[in-house]
Amino acid sequence: MKVIICGAGQVGWQIARHLSGERNDVTVVDSNADLIRRATDALDVQGIAGFASYPDVLDRAGARDADMVIAATHSDEVNMVTCQVAHSVFSVPRKIARLRAQSYLTAIYSDLYRRDHMPIDVVISPEREVAEAALQRLGSPSAFDTEVFHGGKAQLLGITIEDDCPVVNTPLRQLSDLFSTLRAIVVAVRRDGTLFAPEPGDQLFVGDDCYVVVVNEDVPRTLEIFGKSPRKQERIVLIGGGNVGLAVASRLEERADRVRVKVIEKSRVVAERAADKLERTIVLHGDGLDTDLLKEANIDRADAVLCVTDDDKTNMLAAVRAKAEGCPMAIVLVNDPTMVPLMGPLGIDAYINPRATTVSSILRHIRHGRVRGVYSIGDAEAEVIEAEVLSTSPIAGKKISEIDFPEGVLIGMVEKGQKLVRPVGNLRIDEGDVITIFAMTNDVPEVERLLQVSIDFF
């Protein structure tokens, strides 16, 4: 497939990395020649320096025979015009745009993106994606990472193994025997910074981060088995009242169970805007690092603090200070993946990576055919893929034990009809089943071959 990616920033670079690694013909366009050089040096892509919305630049990038344009520059307007030019001048079949401004995303104006108006096939909003991820984290306070699968009926939970975990040093095979009715599978473990798919004989050790696919009804029991106690989130302090903070606070206001939310925002203009748009949320103007202001927000009585300013260091320092003042749980927004190893030593409970969230969202729309969901783990180290099994798939009609998966691949859950089933060796995979698979990035092309789902299919 021939893809043009406009914008060589963090999101554009990661998408290019994914698609070029799967032997697609990828061209990256950016007005910054240094970013283009970085992309062409590190990846198997072509690079064009220039403004993505200019017809001659898109022409040089190969738009005349491109299958898809992904517009992910820093400017909403450039992204929109790029899609318009790709459609009107070059008849590119599929156009994806990243849009940030909330005004462009309001539902009453959604008619704008019809083919005869502004021809964008898929609109991705990083702020909405990140707000959704933040709400998922709050919904699973004992997990450092979460994502939903199977239409919201199952979750991927990232759980840190601590001293009080009852199943430390227990082989995973034994866990399956002990809890035979539990619909939960450990699909990945990160140990000493290295992510891998575990074997049945592998044990979990203190300090491991493990990823578990689990059916919603079994989440409380799973957390209990891993030594985590469920905590109810009734009082939440948000540090940062920008687009992400405002989106999270608005969603929390909509919830049926009353959640008390306070927002701390440094900019008076942004704080006033948030106060105007929120009804039941208290908005405080000031610095989230100010101890006195944190005390005024009753941080010691809060169940969680969510730090979502646009500065990673501010988020991390605010989280540390809130914990020091007695808040039991801190979640931070972190753009720079090199900061993640600092989370544990600083006592930060969970993080949200906007880049990974946006990349996952875009991949979900690129991987058409029967792929229903994709979630990127870590710094594009692995993916969790949800897909429907086709009749032409080599795995259709086979038992799981008979399928020749690569070493870095594990099935996490199988949906038969309306029923979610834990994958065991003698379970047969049939046409129409929906399966969730963990795969290391290098193994993704082989997984797609086994599923008979190619990103070439639309």
121-140 pLDDT, tens digit per residue, is 888 888 888 888 888 888 77
The per-residue pLDDT for range 195-225, each reduced to its tens digit, is 999 999 999 999 999 999 999 999 888 988 9
pLDDT confidence tier of residue 300, bands split at 50, 70 and 90: very high
Same domain assignment for residues 371 and 346: no
| CA distances (Å), origin 323, targets 233, 241, 300 | 16, 20, 8
Angle at 280 between CA 274 and CA 282, to 5 degrees: 55
**pLDDT single digits (tens) 146-162:** 888 998 899 999 999 98
Q: Helix, strand, coil % (nearest 5) of the chain?
A: 35, 25, 35
Number of domains in the chain: 3
pLDDT of residue 379: 72
Structure tokens at 348: 């930060």
User: Could you please report the per-residue DSSP string of 189-209?
Assistant: EEETTEEEPPPTT-B--TT-E
Q: Grade residue 367 by pLDDT with cuts at 50, 70 and 90.
A: low
d(CA 248, CA 264): 13
The residue from 124, 140, 158 where one domain ends is 124
Q: Are residues 39 and 88 in the same domain?
A: yes
The pLDDT assigned to 213 comes to: 95
> Can you point out the beta strands (E) in 290-365?
304-307, 330-333, 350-352
Does the pLDDT value for residue 329 go beyond 80?
yes
pLDDT of 450 over the 90 cut: no
**Is the same domain home to 296 and 344?**
yes
Report the chain's mean pLDDT, rounded to a whole number.
Answer: 88
Domain boundary among 63, 91, 124: 124
Question: Would residue 207 be called left, alpha or beta, if left means φ above 0 and alpha means ψ between -120 and 50 degrees?
Answer: left
pLDDT of residue 107: 66
Q: Are strands 434-440 and 260-265 parallel, antiparallel or unpaired?
A: unpaired
Boundary residue ending a domain (66, 96, 124): 124
Write the CATH number for 388.
Answer: 3.30.70.1450
Range of the structural domain that residue 378 is part of: 361-451
